[in-house]
């Protein structure tokens, strides 16, 4: 007799079938929910409960951001030595302690010191997580898996931001500290999930056994142990001129984040007739586009050439979004609102392509024996863009209106267009593309 009992929904069916990717998705979700909680309340906590002025908060966070830029490479090198998983198991609890430390900050000096420590840990952990993914997942699944993780990241940020509403409503020290404690718990939860991550033993021990997570031609890429009879000279990220150029060009594209978070809100409020509520609508639209379309947008990115083309196309879309934003100043409220939302949609599509292309470039152009160091360099480029982004956007779009938006559009278009030439000029990078002649590299 067939049972007709109603079963509860199987949440597991919404998660990837692969146990490793499933664990990574859960880690990303837990971690970013905590990030959403913290980011949403942090500014109000520091100004209303700690008593710092907005200017001092900005100064402290800028100093911390600069140190964060410098954290990626040493953390990546350490991950290459001791293993990404092992290092993350240390960094996670340290991040929990750091965020809890904000509850005991009562002076500007203490705030700056703790913000610097927390940001170094955060940026370092981001580089190490990227190296972990590079080593743990097969090459042919890298881009799609990272697209899924980015979708989950945006969903987690939305959930965390919504969850912080109660603390914002109470506007009290107790409410803000509760959010800090919850954020600390998410770091510990992510570390607990990481402890059970089915990473190959040699990666967990941090040994030098080489597994090719390097794409050598799209779908035919496979994991392999290096069995060449000739010695392979390990490349160094900071001396790899092609990798540094690609990192710098992609960092220019990464300025798009400051456009959404700084430039566009100020532009809407100060220079258009669109209602201030449109700022929130833009954020929701961007998150929805990333959550729904990031995996789809990554499907055509399979190797270095297609990744570079995706970045070039994304740069054009980012440029188009900037020009549409500029047009919003010329119409009444309805027209301005439509222009801003249309620009945000075009901008978000560009963000999808530049993100998907960046993942492949950061992985395929790296030495697979030094993924920690290479991912550290690439993540440092992104961090640098996040630090200088507010200044760049302010002195262009915010201060000079339509002309500034046109300058930004040109910057995005040129950076994207330069990437195909940058990766083509010296050929495709592989784990074996070091020239055997001393003192020379390809």
Res 109 pLDDT > 90 = yes
Mean pLDDT, residues 405-430:
84
Q: pLDDT tens for residues 359-376?
A: 889 888 988 888 888 988
Q: pLDDT tens for residues 308-329?
A: 999 999 999 999 999 999 999 9
Give the pLDDT score at 200. Answer: 57
220: Cβ contacts below 8 Å, ≥ 6 apart: none
**Helices (runs of H) and strands (runs of E) counted in the chain:** 16, 0
Q: With contact defined as beta carbons under 8 Å apart, do 358 and 295 qualify?
A: no
Give the pLDDT score at 145. Answer: 83
Res 186 pLDDT > 70 = yes
- Compute the distance between CA of residue 5 and CA of residue 348 in angstroms, rounded to an integer: 44
Of 198 and 83, the structure prediction assigns the larger pLDDT to 83
119: Cβ contacts below 8 Å, ≥ 6 apart: 61, 64, 65, 67, 68, 71
134: Cβ contacts below 8 Å, ≥ 6 apart: 142, 213, 363, 366, 368, 371, 375
| Token output for 66 | 């600069």
Phi and psi at residue 213, to the nearest 5°:
-95, 25
- Compute the distance between CA of residue 200 and CA of residue 301 in angstroms, rounded to an integer: 26
Q: With contact defined as beta carbons under 8 Å apart, do 233 and 433 qualify?
A: no
Give the pLDDT score at 234. Answer: 66
Give the pLDDT score at 151. Answer: 86
Give the pLDDT score at 429. Answer: 41
Res 148 pLDDT > 90 = no
Q: Where are the domains of the chain?
A: 17-207, 237-424
Mean pLDDT, residues 328-348:
94
Asked if the domains 17-207 and 237-424 are classified in one and the same CATH topology, the answer is: yes
> 17-207 adopts what CATH topology?
Growth Hormone; Chain: A; (1.20.1250)
Q: pLDDT tens for residues 69-102?
A: 988 889 988 988 988 899 999 999 999 999 999 9
Give the pLDDT score at 111. Answer: 94
Res 210 pLDDT > 60 = no
- Compute the distance between CA of residue 378 and CA of residue 32 in angstroms, rounded to an integer: 21
> 237-424 adopts what CATH topology?
Growth Hormone; Chain: A; (1.20.1250)
| Token output for 123 | 């940026």
**In percent, how much of the chain has pLDDT > 70?**
84
Give the pLDDT score at 295. Answer: 86
**In percent, how much of the chain has pLDDT > 90?**
43
| Nearest of 336, 385, 322 to residue 69 by alpha carbon | 385
Res 335 pLDDT > 90 = yes
Mean pLDDT, residues 20-30:
88
Query: What does the angle CA 403 – CA 407 – CA 409 come to, to the nearest 5 degrees?
Result: 115
Least confident piece of the model among 2-6, 174-178, 232-236, 343-347: 2-6
Give the pLDDT score at 425. Answer: 66
Quick check: pTM over 0.85?
no
Of 358 and 210, the structure prediction assigns the larger pLDDT to 358
- Compute the distance between CA of residue 9 and CA of residue 15 in angstroms, rounded to an integer: 13
End-to-end CA distance of the chain: 70
375: Cβ contacts below 8 Å, ≥ 6 apart: 72, 76, 127, 128, 130, 131, 134, 362, 366
Res 24 pLDDT > 60 = yes
Mean pLDDT, residues 123-140:
84
Give the pLDDT score at 199. Answer: 62
Confidence of residue 406 (pLDDT cuts 50, 70, 90): very high
Q: Which of 93-97, 196-200, 230-234 is most confident? A: 93-97
Least confident piece of the model among 9-13, 298-302, 387-391: 9-13
- Compute the distance between CA of residue 320 and CA of residue 314 in angstroms, rounded to an integer: 10
| Nearest of 385, 183, 157, 179 to residue 284 by alpha carbon | 157
Confidence of residue 7 (pLDDT cuts 50, 70, 90): very low
């Amino acid at each position: 007799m067939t049972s007709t009992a109603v079963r509860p929904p199987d949440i597991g069916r919404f998660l990837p079938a692969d146990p490793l990717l499933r664990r990574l998705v859960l880690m990303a979700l837990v971690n970013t929910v905590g990030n959403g909680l913290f980011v949403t309340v942090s500014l109000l906590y520091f100004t209303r409960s700690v008593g710092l002025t907005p200017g001092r908060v900005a100064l402290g966070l800028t100093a911390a951001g600069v140190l964060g830029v410098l954290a990626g490479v040493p953390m990546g090198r350490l991950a290459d030595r001791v293993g990404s998983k092992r290092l993350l198991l240390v960094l996670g609890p340290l991040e929990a302690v750091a965020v809890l430390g904000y509850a005991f900050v009562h002076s500007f000096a203490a705030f700056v010191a703790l913000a610097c420590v927390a940001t170094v840990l955060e940026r370092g952990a981001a580089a190490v997580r990227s190296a972990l993914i590079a080593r743990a997942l097969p090459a042919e699944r890298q881009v799609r898996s990272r697209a899924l993780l980015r979708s989950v990241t945006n969903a987690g940020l939305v959930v965390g931001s919504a969850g912080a509403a109660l603390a914002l409503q109470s506007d009290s020290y107790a409410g803000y500290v509760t959010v800090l404690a919850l954020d600390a718990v998410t770091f510990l939860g992510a570390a607990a999930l990481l402890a059970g991550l089915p990473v190959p033993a040699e990666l967990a021990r941090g040994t030098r056994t080489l597994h090719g997570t390097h794409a050598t031609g799209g779908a035919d890429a496979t994991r392999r142990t290096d069995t060449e009879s000739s010695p392979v000279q390990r490349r160094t990220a900071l001396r790899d001129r092609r990798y540094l150029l690609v990192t710098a060009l992609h960092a220019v594209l990464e300025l798009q984040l400051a456009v959404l978070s700084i430039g566009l809100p100020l532009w809407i409020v100060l220079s258009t007739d669109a209602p201030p509520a449109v700022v929130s609508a833009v954020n929701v639209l961007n998150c929805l586009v990333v959550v729904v379309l990031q995996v789809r947008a990554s499907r055509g990115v399979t190797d270095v050439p297609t990744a570079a083309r995706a970045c070039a196309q994304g740069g054009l879309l980012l440029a188009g979004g900037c020009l549409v934003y500029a047009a919003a100043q010329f119409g009444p409220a309805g027209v301005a609102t439509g222009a801003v939302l249309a620009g945000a949609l075009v901008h978000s599509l560009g963000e999808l392509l530049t993100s998907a292309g960046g993942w492949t470039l950061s992985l395929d152009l790296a030495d697979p024996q030094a993924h920690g160091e290479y991912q550290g360099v690439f993540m440092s480029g992104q961090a640098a863009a996040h630090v200088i982004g507010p200044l760049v956007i302010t002195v262009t779009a915010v201060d000079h209106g339509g002309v500034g938006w046109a300058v930004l559009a040109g910057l995005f278009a040129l950076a994207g267009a330069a990437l195909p030439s940058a990766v083509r000029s010296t050929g495709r990078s592989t784990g074996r593309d070091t020239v055997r002649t001393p003192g020379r590299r390809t």
